[in-house]
Amino acid sequence: MPDFAELRETHRRKVRAAGLGEFADELVAASLPSVRLLPARGPHRTRLGGDPELPPATPWPRAGHTPLSFVAQLDLSEMAPYDAEGILPADGLLSFFYDAIHQPWGFDPAHRDSATVLFTPGDAEVATRQAPSDLPANGRFSPVPLRPHDQAHVHRREAGHPPLVLLGQARGPARAGVGPELARAAVRVGRAQPRVSSMTVTSGRAPMRIGGPQ
């Protein structure tokens, strides 16, 4: 497990080095441990795009008759050493799918099936699955291997929301989830990560929700 106290001190040094020492205490107090995914070389089960590893009996997720695009796969055994709070399962796969053809925003209840996350236990038998033949070429993505990296992250954990998996970089200070001045400071030090919006997680018999209220 990473030493979060050490991560916070690293965060404090970066804040001061950016000339924002007056905000250091508040930004460090607002920081939480997170796992950042960076491009990697060589084979990694954690990746963007490519083909997912799924149990033979698991159907490819669809929104109605439209197959969803495979977006990413997280190998939780690769994530575990960086999970400072012990939130994630120690092993298994999270497979992310999205309707990349129509790209719905998710504001309409009719978009409920447009994004899905499948959890596969670590001891399950899996095989690499090619996308269905009716998924257009612009809904298929080349593989990009990823490696996890621990970091301190400024983020607002809202009441009623579970912990979130964080990916990528925000494009505006509002993502920092703190006051406007602190948000601008956080963006100048290193942009906060956007949270994954609410998706369906299928595990065993019943679907669950992550990234939003139940």
List the pLDDT tens digit at each of the 214 positions of the chain.
556 677 778 878 888 888 888 888 888 877 777 788 889 988 889 999 999 999 999 999 999 899 999 999 999 999 988 887 788 899 999 999 999 999 998 888 888 899 999 999 999 999 999 999 999 999 999 999 999 887 666 655 454 444 434 333 333 332 333 344 443 443 444 433 333 333 333 333 333 333 333 2
pLDDT of 71: 96
pTM of the model: 0.68
**Each residue's pLDDT tens digit, 71-121:** 999 999 999 888 877 888 999 999 999 999 999 988 888 888 999 999 999
Residue with tokens 């460090």: 28
Q: What is the set of domains in the chain, with CATH numbers?
A: 4-210 (2.30.320)
Predicted pLDDT of residue 135? 96
The per-residue pLDDT for 94 is 95
Nearest Cα to 135, choosing from 96, 107, 95, 97? 97
